[in-house]
Every structure is written in C-alpha cells, then in structure tokens.
Amino acid sequence: MAIDGETRTSRRSLLAAALGGLGGLVVSRLGRPDAVAALDGAPALLGTANTSTTETSFENTDTGEASLKGLHADGIGVSGESATGTAVRGASTDDTSSDFLAQSYRSGVIGTAGDLGVAGDIGGVALNTDEVGAYGFSDVSPASVGVWGDTWGGVGVQGTGDLAVAGFGDSVGLYGAGTSPAAYALLTDGKIKFNGRSGRTTISPNHLYRDVSISGMTSSSVVIATLQTRKAGYHVECVVSYTGKFRVFINKTSTGTIYFSYLVIG
C-alpha cells in the first residue's frame, strides 16, 4: 500500500515540535528556578522562595560542626526578617558550667568581627566595625537601645578583658538604675577609679584653702573632700564648686603641709 507523503510529513512535524517543546521546557527549568515554592515534605528549592506550614530544620550530627551555614563573597551571609516577631533567634540547651574564659559552644549567638544589629535610621551607624564582635545600633526614638542584655537571675551584660566595659556618651557614658529601692544601680568587686574626678593633693603651709581644676565641673557639682593628714585642731570647713574647679577651705591657716583627698560627683 502506498504511504501518503503528506501524512508522513505532518507526523514528522508534530514529532519535531513535541521534542522541541520538551527541550525548551528542560532549558527553561535549568535556566531559572521554579516559581512555585516547595510544599511540606518536598525538597528545598534553590533560587526561589520556599514556603511551608511547618518548621524546616537542618541537623548535622557531627560534634562541633555547623548544621546550616550561609556564605557570601560581598554581602550578607545569613539574613532574617519578621514582620512582627523575632527575625533571628539563637538558643543553647547546654547547662554545663562556664567561666566565660574558655571557648564554649553554649552560646545562643556567637558574633564575629563586623556583625551588625540595626534598627531605625541607619544614618548614624558606625562606618567601621572591623574590630567589633557584635555591633548594635538603634535610632527609632530617644528611648532607643543599641544593645540590650536581659536575664531574670544572672548577668544581663558581661564584659571581660583589660578594659571589661567602657562607656562614652555626649551626656552619659554609663547608666545604672535599680529596679527597686533595695536594688543596686552599681555593684563592684575590686578597686574603683574615677579618672580625672578624684585624687589626692595638698594645702601648702601658711594657706587657708586650695583650688583644684576639674574639666567639666559646674557650680552645682558635688565634691567630697577629706583630710589625709592628722593635724590637731584642723578640719575641712567647706568645699565650694565653681565652673572648672573647686576650692577646699580648712578652718584655719595651715602651719605645715596638709594632704586631702577628693571625689567630684556631677
């Protein structure tokens, strides 16, 4: 029986078109991610948003290794975002004791140089945080807090090092407030040094007072002064504050060198 040449040509055209469409579909899937997010129980898809109704977790059973790692040559390694909840949360269930001196895997979050936490207007963010383990900045309102450490029964914020905690501010460097009349706003274990605001000096012989210059002092500053020389009949009569200095008066003209110590508050 003769084969119809027109029919044969049509079948070849249909076959070619089908193969061409299949090839285009494969290329399109290789060239771009599927726009449909992964469903519960399905593999995670690279290059697209993955959505599910249950929690997704990754576990590495090898001790000391990471379960999930984010890498980027010039960007953000791991990013978290939440409309109303916590963007990134870290927790550790290890309850072994720690003295904070040795490396530990108990930490909820460990920060390395340059880690940032920013809220509000970013115009005031520090330009260089290369030598900072964790950096926090907030400029939402006058009550904004850059870094907050919170606990019910332990230490909210702890610093260790040659200089454990340093505070620098235009109005207040460090601020402590007790939550009740019995709470301590400041508790120290060891020496306290009020650099530039305390010291020990003398009243020279044949003098009734001594001026001490203190940068930033005002007439409302409080000064505590105590004699450090035992001399019968002598005592501090009064201390008067001025702008940039204070004056210590003794009750009568000295007949010899008299030492006194001082502490300036405010």
pLDDT tens-place string over residues 23-51: 554 444 454 444 455 667 778 788 888 88
Interior angle at CA 263, CA 259 and CA 266, nearest 5 = 150
Model pLDDT, residue 37: 59
Determine the structural domain holding residue 244 and report its residue range: 198-265
| Model pLDDT for residues 238-265, shown as the tens digit of each residue | 999 999 999 999 999 999 999 999 999 9
The number of domains in the chain is 2
pTM for the predicted model, two decimal places = 0.53
> Per the domain annotation, does 78 fall within a domain?
no
> Per the domain annotation, does 16 fall within a domain?
yes
155/153 Cα distance (integer angstroms): 7
> Per the domain annotation, does 249 fall within a domain?
yes
- 19: tokens are 């193969």
pLDDT band at 107 (very low <50, low <70, confident <90, very high): low
> Per the domain annotation, does 88 fall within a domain?
no
> Per the domain annotation, does 245 fall within a domain?
yes
> Per the domain annotation, does 97 fall within a domain?
no
Among 233, 227, 222, 237, which residue's Cα sits nearest to residue 258? Answer: 227
Kind and range of the H or E run holding 202: strand 198-203
260/234 Cα distance (integer angstroms): 12
The amino acid present at 9, given as its one-letter code, is T
> Per the domain annotation, does 89 fall within a domain?
no
> Per the domain annotation, does 93 fall within a domain?
no
